[in-house]
Amino acid sequence: MVNLSAIFFQGGVALRLPPQSKFARLDFARRFATLCFVSFVAEFNSLPLESLVKRSQSAGIQAVRESMAKPKLSLADFAHLISPAGAGLLEHMGRRSQAMTQQRFGKVIRMFAPLYLSNECVNNCKYCGFSRDNPILRVTLSLEDVKREAQALKEQGFRNLLLVAGEHPKFVSNDYLRDCIATLHADWPGISLEVGPMEAADYRPLVEAGADGLVVYQETYDRKIYADMHTAGPKRNFDWRLETPERAYAAGFRRLGISPLYGLADWRFEAISAAAHADYLLRNCWKAALTISTVRLRPCAGEFQPLTHISDRELAQLVCALRLMFPDVGLVLSTRELPKLRDGLIPLGITMISAGSHTEPGGYTGAGKEKIHHTERGRIVELASGASEWAPTKENATNATGQFQIADERSAGEVAALIRKLGYEPVWKDWDAALTA
Ligand code: SF4
């Protein structure tokens, strides 16, 4: 059942619904919500997501063609593009997506690298190796360790960093994050964060220290599956997480990144929800550059198995559909995908890519290895050899446990060479603080 009343009666203003289709009313509601500055949670709660998914499942080829021909797409059009029928037009869609991407972004691919600061976490997320109940090898890097890791990435050519950390106020405090950013700021023109959600007031010192981007995956837009996946910790609050990009924008971040984690709920449901979220952010946080990632679940400690499947071909269809829906939004591809698929997706619409990634703190240099430990109920426990299946062995005696296994193990240099071979220019630095004034 579609509940539009929350939007139509905002601020005590009652409006008569336009006597049109459900989807025309949806568009009207969206525009009205924008005028009233309603948060995405209110808009999300009013979305006819089930109808849109059904519309996607049952769309015919003619509906897909008509949607593709439109200069500006609605959510219903997006649902058509990702439909089973749309798969039959993938080549056509791919050509349109490629041409549109080159027209808006040029033939360039922006490079970035994740730098994991800590794998401590207070949350239990069933799909994540860092979950607090997993007896993994943990560490939080010191500032010196962070500098060492960053230097190794700089030597590979990177100038855009994504600082990643689990959510653990004791080990990953706001002051610690600010110090990490301040330490790196002079050498790194692009610093984004993927850390536990905060209040806008807590984000501001991080922006002032030099962070310019904030990435937050909703993981799943399905409230029921979200509740089932997040069994303990502050991350259980779905709405708080959903509003995070808005708080980040209010704090001054000029890049925002969102995505579901494909493999939890039905992929079309997730894609339509993410498209609605992106549409909202483009209307309401319009000074920020938006990116959408296309991340699928990977094997990790805890051995969680994906609940749903999105095939390689469907992932390609999704990339094209996102491009046609959002001509100016950056599309991000990580090392979660195998080299062959990554090479094929790049020309379809991808604008940003990671390479040579490690998902464990200290992964690039072995920094912090002398401090590796277990954490039990927030307390550090010294390692005893054989205490867990992740305890040090001769072959794996150096690093903390990674968040997930990567699939593309090529070095940054190899990926950059491949990008050039495809006719694109790898861009390591695309911004300078001097341009901000
Ligand atoms: S997904 Fe994030 S919050 Fe959840 S356990 Fe992993 S690091 Fe912690």
Ligand 1: residues with CB < 6 A are 121, 123, 125, 128, 130-131, 166-167, 235
pLDDT of residue 23: 64
Whether the CB-CB separation of 262 and 270 falls below 8 Å is answered with yes
Which of the listed residues 125, 217, 230 should we mutate to test ligand 1's pocket, taking the one with most ligand atoms within 8 A of CB? Answer: 125
pLDDT of residue 433: 61
Residue nearest to atom 7 of ligand 1 (CA): 166
Per-residue pLDDT of the chain (437 residues; tens, 9 = 90+): 334 333 333 333 333 444 466 666 666 666 665 556 679 999 999 999 999 999 999 999 999 999 999 999 999 999 999 999 999 999 999 999 999 999 999 999 999 999 999 999 999 999 999 999 999 999 999 999 999 999 999 999 999 999 999 999 999 999 999 999 999 999 999 999 999 999 999 999 999 999 999 999 999 999 999 999 999 999 999 999 999 999 999 999 999 999 999 999 999 999 999 999 999 999 999 999 999 999 999 878 778 899 999 999 999 999 999 999 999 999 999 999 999 999 999 999 999 999 999 999 999 999 999 999 999 999 999 887 655 555 544 444 457 888 888 899 999 999 999 999 999 999 998 766 665 54
- Taking the whole predicted model, whether its pTM rises above 0.95 is answered as no
pLDDT, residue 26, reads 62
Do the beta carbons of residue 182 and residue 208 sit within 8 Å? Answer: no
**Whole-number pLDDT of residue 242:** 98
Mutate to test the pocket of ligand 1, among 130, 194, 230 (most ligand atoms within 8 A of CB): 130
- The pLDDT of residue 299 is 79
**Ligand 1 atom at minimum distance from 124 CA:** 5
Q: Which of 118, 121, 359, 375 to mutate to test the pocket of ligand 1 (most atoms within 8 A of CB)?
A: 121
pLDDT at 382: 86
pLDDT value at residue 33: 58
> Is 237 within 8 Å of 226 (Cβ atoms)?
no
Which residue, 399, 357, 369, 426, is CA-closest to 114? 357
Cα–Cα distances in angstroms (integers) from residue 227 to residues 85, 197, 231, 239, 376, in the given order? 32, 17, 7, 11, 24
Ligand 1 centre and the CA of 131: distance in Å? 6
Q: What is the pLDDT of residue 35?
A: 59
Q: What is the pLDDT of residue 389?
A: 54
Angle subtended by helix axes 267-284 and 22-36, to nearest 10: 40
Ligand 1 pocket test: pick from 228, 235, 259 the residue with the most ligand atoms within 8 Å of its Cβ. 235
Query: Strand ranges (DSSP E) for 197-265?
Result: 213-219, 230-232, 255-262
Whole-number pLDDT of residue 14: 37
pLDDT at residue number 15: 39
* Contact in structure between 295 and 333 (CB atoms under 8 Å): no
Residue 17 per-residue DSSP state: P
CA of 127 to the centre of ligand 1 (A): 8
What residue's CA is closest to ligand 1, atom 4? Answer: 125
CA of 29 to the centre of ligand 1 (A): 34
Ligand 1 center–CA 436 separation, angstroms: 32
Instruction: Write down the pLDDT at residue 302.
Output: 77
